[in-house]
Amino acid sequence: MYKKIVLSTLFILEVSYAALPPRFQKIKDLDVMVDYIRTHQKVASTLGQIDLRNYSIYYNYNCRIIFERKTSFHLPGWVGPAEDLVFKSDRCSDTL
C-alpha cells in the first residue's frame, strides 16, 4: 500500500513539472531566433525586429524569416514542453 502511494505521488510530481512555464518557453524560443541571426551575417547586419508573438525576424527593410514549431505525435493527455522552433521560410517583399 505504502509503495503504491509513493509511486503515485512521484508520478504526479513528474507530470506536473514536465511543462515549461511560459516565460522559460519564450526565452528558449528567443535563443533559437538569436542563434539563427548569429549564424547568418546578412540578417545580423540588417536586423530590424524580432517578433516573438509571430515567430518572425524582420531584416533588410522588407525581409522576414518565419519560424514554426516542430510537429510531433503525443498521446492524449501528454503534458510537456512545447517543441522547439524551426526555420520555416525566408521571404523578401515590397509589401512587408
Q: Which residues contact 49 (CB under 8 A, 6 or more apart)?
A: 57, 58
C-alpha cell at 59: 531584416
pLDDT band at 68 (very low <50, low <70, confident <90, very high): very high
Q: Please write the tens of the pLDDT for every residue from 14-58.
A: 444 446 678 888 999 999 999 999 999 999 999 999 999 999 999
What predicted TM-score, i.e. pTM, was given to this entire model? Answer: 0.69
Average pLDDT over residues 75-91: 85
